[in-house]
Chain A
Amino acid sequence: ERRGTIYTYSIVHSGTEAFQDKTPYVLAVVEVNRQKRMARVEGYTESTDIEIGMEVVFLAEDQMGNPIYVFA
């Protein structure tokens, strides 16, 4: 299943060293088929109006096999 919805989220301005160069980035708990998983959502800009329930689409897996999503 490639589509999911945002169950909750935060725009991260201060991340760990490994992710600091990506700030600000969106971290979300994404719900897919009633299963929840934490993931980054790419494509955020200051004009992005994020809401809980918003649809996201699977983009790729990172090096650790964790899913990365993008706003639909």
Chain B
Amino acid sequence: MRSVSVIGIGETKIGRFPDKSLRELIQEAGTKAIDDAGIGREEVEALFMSNFNAQAFSGQGHLGPLAAEALGLGNIPTLRIEGACASGSLAFRQALHAVATGLYDVVLVGGVEKMTHQSTGPVTAGLAGAADIDLEAGVGATFPSIFAMIANRYFHEFGNVRHEMALCAVQNHENALLNPHAQLQKRITVEQVKNGVPIASPFTIFDCSLVSDGSAFVVLAATDLAKAVSRKRLVEVVGCGQAGDTLTLASKKSMTTFDATVLAARNAYAQAGLRPSQIDLAEVHDCFTITQIINSEDLGFFAKGAGAYALAEGKTALHGQIPINVSGGLKAKGHPIGATGLCQIYEIVTQLRGDGGARQLKKADIGMTHNIGGTAATCVVSIFRGR
């Protein structure tokens, strides 16, 4: 397997764009990524396209050729990859392997989702398909209620961290204030989180990530080739692990440890030859506040049961011990499902290049993305190193 690097990134602003089509979102983010890479469109050899549910939300399938046409990529091979909220990272991992094995030298990975033109009913129903439609959605479960059950079990095993969950939402909103691409650039308070509209106990609306439109693209190239063409700091992919778990919550060995996260991270750390303490920053999947806390433990940053208190002590804040979700995360930057994993990579590469503007970290040499699908039934952890 040969070394692979990110040579181009592009992203739309994340938000509510009912008047923008899937094609327009793809054109904007894809063009930015190709321009950022400084390559011609004819140099892109394949397109790996990520999307969760455009058929349900927009009636549009077959997104590979749609994106290739929108970006003027000619007759290259394309495919569309789906793994719920982890779709973007799954597409990235497949593209990574295609270059690492020598099948291609330069590939484009894209993700897109468009949901906000739909009413809550179709969106909730569309999202429910990432859980078990018979055993979970069929008995009245929604994703907020599934993760709320995880939160209540966590309270039972490790103590009530309702206050710390609220702090998590507040922290991610603070970070989003510094991100011009973030959907919710709005400061919130702990009291607002706790007293928000109840969704599924213990969650209020402020514990939940956003319904978003948006697109993100990444250009990958063999590192040897990247050194010749890239004008910016090279960002090498030094580890990328994937693991799975049962689709249903009730079948999991534990509800307070995400086994897929533990295993994917273990794999990524081993590939990179790194330990958790060597990671400078991480974009961690925060579909709900409890999710970020549990994953911060399962990624090895904190001991089991200590993630919430570490957050409350400021260890994951913008200039803390291990800054988490400096972009604002799914909670405040937004969650355009098929693009989310690539939005995380966009942020890490931006930081490793030193282009983070007001939210730029002083030390950003090694970054991580962590992306789960469903109830952590799919997980991809990637580690990036600036060269």
Contact = CB atoms under 8 A, between A and B. Distances in A.
Interface string A20-34: 001001011100000
Contacts of B141: 27, 38
Contacts of A11: 198, 200-201
A16 B250 contact: no
Interface of B: 121, 124-125, 128, 134-142, 144-145, 148-153, 156, 197-203, 248-251, 255
Contact of B152 (A8, A62, A64): A8
Nearest to B151: A10
Given A14-B199, A29-B249, 6 more contacts: A8-B152, A14-B198, A16-B124, A39-B139, A64-B139, A66-B138
A16 B251 contact: no
Contacts, number: 92
Given A38-B135, A64-B134, A16 B152 contact: no
A1 interface: no
Nearest to A53: B156
Contacts of B148: 10, 12
B140 A13 contact: no
6 contacts: A13-B197, A15-B142, A17-B124, A29-B255, A36-B251, A62-B138
> Which secondary structure dominates where chain A touches chain B?
strand
Given A38-B139, A66-B139, A8 B200 contact: no
B270 to A, nearest CB: 32
A52 B140 CA distance: 19
A13 to B, nearest CB: 4
Contacts of A71: none
A27 B145 contact: yes
Nearest to A16: B124
Contacts of A25: 140
A66 B145 CA distance: 17
A62 B139 CA distance: 8
Contacts of B153: 7-8, 52
Interface string A33-72: 0001111100000000000100000000010101000000
A25 B152 CA distance: 16
A10 B134 contact: no
Contacts of B142: 12, 14-16
A64 B198 contact: no
A29 B145 CA distance: 11
B249 A38 contact: yes
Contact of B128 (A16, A29, A38, A52): A16
B152 A9 contact: yes
